[in-house]
Amino acid sequence: MTLDWYPGLREFCRYWSHAEMLQQTFSTLENEFAADNDACIDAAKGIIDCACRIIIDELDDPAHPLKPQQTDAATGVLVGIANRLLKLSDIRHRKFADLVKHHNNLTDSLRELRNEAGTVSHGKDGFVARLSAHHRRAAVLSADSLVTYLHEAYLEANFNLSQTREPYERFETFNDLIDKAVSIEAETDEDGDLVVRVHLPGGDILPITSTPSRILYQMDRAAYIEALNAVRSAPPPPPEVVVPAEGESA
């Protein structure tokens, strides 16, 4: 039987599959864990940091930001802010509050283990023996537990639609509501730009104007490239012939 030691980390990274750096870190985790290398601890800790930063960016209030200014904020600080934004500490049940606190302690322990045993974040004595498989599994399981409970809480949070990096498909319910009640019409103006008029249920109209390049770039990147290549390979337009007005010399 093959055990999956990090199903929560796997699910979190699958959910944010369009986050390229996160995918690189998860690939490192998988490769190093499978090779029995202690660098998997560095990767596990890195995914915790990434999870917290995503949650903070998604849920932070720009008017009253909690996001730390420094780029190298400690993992414990990031986890604490994520807990506050997810309101995981706003609960009367003391035992659950203690559980959240223990998760924060778990974060500090993992950070210290990474500092002592991780092979890629800090230089180590070249002759120090690697950890046992049980140590690596415990570290990865700890990271998995922490990311799982943060991610599951995040999925139930209210998103800020004006700043979210969630993909369009994430809001299928909202999309269906709009598509059933809103209609659009479009035309091209004298400058060649697309003018779209969005008709809202109350009768209001939202005008949106966009150039062809912006539409292609936002909606279909392959079509944008195809249009760019077509323009580059097209012959130059003939020079414009200016017809002199009556009474003017040519």
Structure tokens at 111: 């950070």
Question: Measured in whole angstroms, how far is the alpha carbon of residue 141 from the centre of its chain?
Answer: 23
pLDDT in tens, 153-212: 999 888 788 888 888 888 888 999 999 999 999 998 888 899 999 999 999 999 999 998
Dihedral angle computed from the Cα positions of residues 129, 130, 135 and 137, in that order, rounded to the nearest 10 degrees: -170
Distance of CA 178 to the CA centre of its chain: 24
Provide the pLDDT for residue 103.
Answer: 64
- Average pLDDT over the chain reads 83
**Residues 52-83: tens digit of each pLDDT:** 999 999 999 888 999 988 878 888 889 889 98
Joined together, the tokens standing for residue 217 give 């770039």
Total-model pTM = 0.70
Q: Nearest-CA neighbor of 165 among 92, 245, 60?
A: 60
CA distances from 36 to 9, 30, 33, 133 (A): 18, 10, 5, 7
